Amino acid sequence: MLTIGTLAKRTGTKVQTIRYYEQIGLLPEPGRSAGGQRRYGDSELDRLSFVRHARQLGFSLDAIRELLDLSDHPDKSCAEADAIARRQLKQVEQRLARLEALRTELKRMVHECSGGQTSDCRVLEVLRDHSECLTEHEEIGA
């Protein structure tokens, strides 16, 4: 049996994150020692590793919940898991397209900067007036 600290170290997950995953139901409520300490076994270690890897691949908590449910029911069709992964791939490709547009615009801004005074700075001018941008883009966090 593992303590929460050991589980955290073995998976590279913060203790607070493990507790949060328990609160939202991604991890089951752990067993407790006689002293009230959380105790985890191999199944919790595997499940947390699954969640952590899914998060690293950018899956949302809702998508992870769906994937865990599929994993918990091995008789279900793999088509649902495939659809979730395809949806995630599409989102990644959309983010990459937005990043490429931003890269293009930033390269143009830097290339057009003459290096003179800030009153003539092309970078500042483009940032001040969005109509000067040649590419469509939105905030990365949006």
How far apart (Å, rounded) are the C-alpha atoms in residues 12 and 17? 10
Name the DSSP class of 130. Answer: G
CATH of the domain at 31: 1.10.1660.10
What are the tokens at 62?
């809702």
CA atoms within 13 A on the CB side of 73: 10
- The confidence score (pLDDT) of residue 120 equals 75
The reply to whether 8 and 40 lie within a common domain is: yes
* Over residues 110-114, mean pLDDT: 79
Share of the chain above pLDDT 90, in %: 65
Domain that holds residue 53: 4-59
Classify residue 107: in a domain, yes or no: yes
- 30-48 pLDDT, tens digit per residue, is 999 888 899 999 999 999 9
Q: Is the pTM of this model over 0.85?
A: no
Report which residue type is found at 69: D
Classify residue 142: in a domain, yes or no: no
**Which of 6-15, 50-59, 119-128 has the least mean pLDDT?**
119-128
